[in-house]
């Protein structure tokens, strides 16, 4: 059971893991010590199992417009990024390349797109004209969807380090937290290097592109009518593979160190000058992966396969990076820009 406790600084409701003695607020960074009776949860505070919580936007203020009390956070300018690299160290499903992915992505954002180093921490607010980036490199998985909102019948998930005890983060939660609240004039790019990640942001449109570069936009809006778009902003996501595919954690591309195949291809496409439009970007990423000799250090990492086989891996599907968006557009006319 998870308890709710109010942040000692900004009073945002926080989910307290079982047995935790303190918790850090992701909005204002204040640490609340649970031993202090002033910050104990009120008797009326609800408590429930992990996936029975109401949608994030109903639990507290939006992460995009919340202004915590007390001293304002350090100004970072108009470019901000969240980068997540999860290696699952000392477990049976450890990944070797995720920390390298995170370091390489930070280097790219700082040196090629002029993101201030101090801005690559967390989302603390945004305004029209801002450019946001969320990068995740780690395990991804799927679980059965029972609401009828998924075309394939499965929710896509991201796996935090403690997913075995606290559960996976499902696409509905990701969409409700970083997609739906995005205000007008703000752009968010997500770069998701994980298995089964094609529609992990639950965006309304998926660019279905063949190997000749021809494409159509598939409509993934739920039949229930639930809104999965933004509040006026723009979200574009590059993901490592289709929902039914796995993504590689491999040294075959760099030939120096393990990286996620998708993160490596994303960075290489930009460094080689192929990131002119979103269509050219997607084609170049796929070509980088297709042209790699999968027998030279290749390693397909599927969490579902690992958990079901006790750690042994068989052959996986060849991954195809995917492009999804909050609105359909001409991928060969829209310039790529972070």
CATH number at residue 279: 3.40.50.12660
**Pair (134, 98) in one structural domain:** no
**Pair (119, 133) in one structural domain:** no
Q: What's the total number of domains in the chain?
A: 3
**Pair (138, 216) in one structural domain:** yes
Domain contains 61: no
Domain contains 56: no
**Pair (12, 99) in one structural domain:** no
Q: Around Cβ 124, how many Cβ atoms within 10 Å? A: 21
- The pair of structure tokens assigned to 41 is 């949860």
Tokens 């801005």 identify what position? Answer: 119
20/318 Cα distance (integer angstroms) = 41
Residue-number span of the structural domain to which 15 is assigned: 3-33
**Pair (131, 121) in one structural domain:** no
**Pair (153, 216) in one structural domain:** yes
Q: 171 with 199: CB under 8 angstroms?
A: yes
243/222 Cα distance (integer angstroms) = 16
Domain contains 58: no
Burial status of residue 264 (CB atoms within 10 A of its CB: 0-12, 13-18, 19 or more):
buried
Contacts of 265 (CB under 8 A, 6+ apart): 253, 284, 285, 286, 288, 289, 321
Which of 98, 125, 152 is at the close of a domain? 125
Residue 139 a catalytic site member: yes
Domain contains 243: yes
Among the listed residues 139, 189, 196, 220, the single catalytic one is 139
Tell me how far apart the 2 most distant CA atoms of the chain are, in Å: 63
Q: 121 with 105: CB under 8 angstroms?
A: no
Domain contains 214: yes
Task: Please tell me the predicted confidence (pLDDT) of residue 317.
Answer: 37
Domain contains 224: yes
Query: For residues 201, 105, 103 and 180, what is the CA-based torsion angle, rounded to 10 degrees?
Result: -30
Domain contains 29: yes
Which of 125, 146, 161 is at the close of a domain? 125
pLDDT in tens, the chain (338 residues): 445 667 787 666 665 666 667 776 655 667 888 754 333 333 333 332 222 333 334 334 555 554 444 443 443 458 989 888 888 888 888 888 888 888 889 999 999 999 988 888 633 477 788 899 999 999 999 999 988 888 889 999 999 999 988 899 999 999 999 999 999 999 999 999 999 999 999 999 999 999 999 999 999 999 888 899 999 999 999 999 999 999 988 887 888 888 899 999 999 999 999 999 999 999 999 999 988 744 444 444 444 444 444 443 444 337 999 999 999 999 999 999 99
**Pair (133, 119) in one structural domain:** no
Which SS3 state, helix, strand or coil, does residue 215 take? strand
**Pair (28, 175) in one structural domain:** no
Task: Please tell me the predicted confidence (pLDDT) of residue 3.
Answer: 58
Among the listed residues 28, 195, 207, 241, the single catalytic one is 195
Domain contains 54: no
Find the helix packing angle between 261-271 and 98-112, rounded to 10°. Answer: 20
**Pair (25, 141) in one structural domain:** no
**Pair (281, 171) in one structural domain:** yes
Residue 274 a catalytic site member: no
Task: Please tell me the predicted confidence (pLDDT) of residue 331.
Answer: 98
**Pair (84, 142) in one structural domain:** no
**Pair (180, 198) in one structural domain:** yes
Which of 68, 94, 125 is at the close of a domain? 125
- State how beta strands 234-239 and 187-193 pair: parallel
């Amino acid at each position: 059971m998870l308890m709710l406790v109010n942040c000692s600084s900004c009073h945002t409701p926080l989910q307290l893991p079982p047995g935790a003695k303190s918790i850090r607020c992701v909005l204002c960074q204040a640490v609340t010590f649970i031993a202090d009776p002033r910050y104990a949860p009120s008797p009326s505070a609800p408590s429930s199992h992990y996936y029975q919580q109401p949608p994030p936007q109903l639990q507290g203020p939006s992460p995009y417009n919340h202004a915590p009390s007390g001293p304002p956070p350090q100004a970072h300018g108009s470019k901000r990024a969240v980068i997540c690299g999860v290696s699952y160290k000392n477990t049976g499903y450890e990944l070797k390349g995720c920390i390298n992915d995170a370091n390489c992505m930070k280097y790219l954002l700082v040196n090629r797109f002029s993101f201030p180093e101090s801005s690559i921490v967390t989302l603390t607010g945004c305004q029209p004209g801002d450019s946001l980036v969320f990068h995740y490199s780690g395990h991804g998985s799927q679980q059965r969807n029972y609401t009828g909102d998924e075309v394939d019948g499965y929710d896509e998930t991201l796996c935090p380090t403690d997913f075995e005890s606290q559960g996976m983060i499902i696409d509905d939660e990701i969409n409700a937290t970083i997609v739906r609240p995005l205000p007008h004039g703000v752009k968010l790019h997500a770069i998701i290097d994980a298995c089964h990640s094609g529609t992990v942001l639950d965006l309304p449109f998926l660019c279905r592109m063949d190997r000749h570069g021809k494409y159509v936009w598939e409509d993934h809006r739920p039949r229930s009518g639930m809104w999965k778009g933004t509040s006026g902003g723009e979200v574009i996501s590059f993901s490592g593979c289709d929902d039914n595919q796995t993504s590689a954690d491999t040294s075959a591309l760099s030939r120096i160190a393990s990286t996620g195949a998708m993160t490596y291809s994303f960075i290489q496409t930009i460094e080689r000058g192929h990131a002119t439009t979103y269509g050219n970007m997607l084609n170049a990423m796929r070509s980088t992966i297709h042209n790699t000799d999968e027998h030279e250090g290749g390693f397909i990492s599927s969490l579902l396969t690992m958990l079901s086989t006790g750690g042994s891996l068989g052959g996986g599907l060849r991954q195809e990076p995917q492009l999804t968006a909050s609105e359909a557009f001409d991928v060969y006319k829209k310039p790529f820009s972070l």
